[in-house]
Amino acid sequence: MKQIAKGAIGLACAAATVLGVASVTSNQAAAAEKKFKVFLSMSYIGNDWQAEAANMVKAMATSKTLADKVDLSIQVAGPNAQRQIQQINAMVQAGANAIVVYPISPTALNSAVKNACAKGVAIIAYDAEISEPCAYNVSIDQLEAGRVTAEWLAKKLNGKGNIVAITGVPGTSVDTLRTKAAKEVFAKYPDIHIVAEANGMWSQAVFRTEMTKILATHNWDSIDGLWTQVGCYTANTMQVEAGKKPSELKPCAGEGANGGRVQTLPIGTEIEGMNDTYAPMGAPRISYASPPYAGGLALKLIVQKLEGKEIPKLTTLPLPLVTNDTIKACKEGSWEELKGGCNAFPPSLVPNPGWFAAIYSPETPEIGLQAALVGTPEF
């Protein structure tokens, strides 16, 4: 009887052990199946950069790195801080674990962001910053972007001349900081005069509209150079349309749009798909950019935070600068080419000249050319 009892007890213990293992395995499986609920909150989207950045966020979310970890939803507020605040509040109520934000203002969202943080929601902004201390930020040094490009233009003009300044989206920290730094540089050169200024909204189309207005009172012969947050491609194109030769193009300090970079390539460079203006011209340029991969990196970082890892409060991205001396044509746009330093894509690969070329980061191997173009990850 004692032997039978011992056997029964042993079987019971074994069964309990099996059930315990099964329970742990089941819990692990359930945990593995649970995804973080992440929202992307976008403000202004009426330009190529915002569309491309959104593509790269989507691609990161569907990459092998995050596909099993993230359930991503996207909302667009437009250039309306109050609407973005309302959307962020609704995201918190909907059970968000994290919110990735392109903020319309560095301060206007602070109350909503602080409330979200208090409820355990992780907040990270990309490109434009949020000043609320609980938020995380990913961006370039916007002051450096304005300063370096303005210095390049001033030196290119030997410290004198008439320039046109086309700024970005008013109210964003990006536009405010870049413009502030550039004007501080130009103020050091008493013979440099900003003869016209307009908001370009980071759009090639808006740049053309505003530049057309400016040309009604200032012709190309009275303009010596341009400092523009977006628009060098269109500025060069408009000069060609006005009969200017490539050797007569005005120096332009501006964004990293692919069209402008292709125009920077030396005359005679062979690339596929070029036309009269989307072509190598040897145009005098410095090209910088807020890299559109910033949103994808922000998503990757905030998921690490949700997993319990430490991430920096501010991630400052390297400022991608390209000049006539460092321009390098890509052929296929492969990841290996990007690692090798190519920074201008043939029009056959990138038909839209307003598309931003600064897509490479060793921190985001998941997102390359196809991610930026159509939202498809590298792996």
The model's pLDDT over 283-314, given as tens digits with 9 standing for 90+, comes to: 999 999 999 999 999 999 999 999 999 999 99
Other CB atoms within 10 Å distance of the CB of residue 193:
13
Other CB atoms within 10 Å distance of the CB of residue 355:
22
- Per-residue pLDDT averaged across 123-148, rounded? 97
Those residues whose C-beta lies under 8 Å from the C-beta of residue 371, and which sit 6 or more positions away, are 55, 56, 59, 60, 296, 359, 377, 378
The model's pLDDT over 342-353, given as tens digits with 9 standing for 90+, comes to: 999 999 999 999
Say if residue 70's pLDDT is above 60: yes
Q: In what order do the strands lie in the sheet with 285-287?
A: 191-199, 160-167, 225-228, 252-254, 285-287, 322-323
Query: Is 35-140+291-320+358-374 in CATH node 3.40.50.2300?
Result: yes
Say if residue 96's pLDDT is above 90: yes
On whether the CB atoms of residues 290 and 140 are closer than 8 A, the answer is: yes
Block residue for tokens 């053309």: 208
According to DSSP, residue 126 is labeled E
Q: Which structure tokens are listed for 265? A: 């390539």
Angle at 253 between CA 152 and CA 258, to 5 degrees: 130
Distance of CA 276 to the CA centre of its chain: 29
pLDDT at 294: 98
Q: CATH 3.40.50.2300 region(s) of the chain?
A: 35-140+291-320+358-374, 142-287
- Per-residue pLDDT averaged across 118-142, rounded? 97
According to DSSP, residue 289 is labeled -
The model's pLDDT over 318-348, given as tens digits with 9 standing for 90+, comes to: 999 999 999 999 999 999 999 999 999 999 9
Average pLDDT, the chain: 92
The model's pLDDT over 150-208, given as tens digits with 9 standing for 90+, comes to: 999 999 999 999 999 999 999 999 999 999 999 999 999 999 999 999 999 999 999 99
Say if residue 23's pLDDT is above 50: no
pLDDT at 349: 97
Lowest mean pLDDT among 32-36, 126-130, 230-234, 268-272: 32-36
In CATH, what number does 142-287 get? 3.40.50.2300
On whether the CB atoms of residues 356 and 48 are closer than 8 A, the answer is: yes
Element (H, E) at 26: helix 2-33
The model's pLDDT over 253-285, given as tens digits with 9 standing for 90+, comes to: 998 999 999 999 999 999 999 999 999 999 999
Global confidence as pTM: 0.88
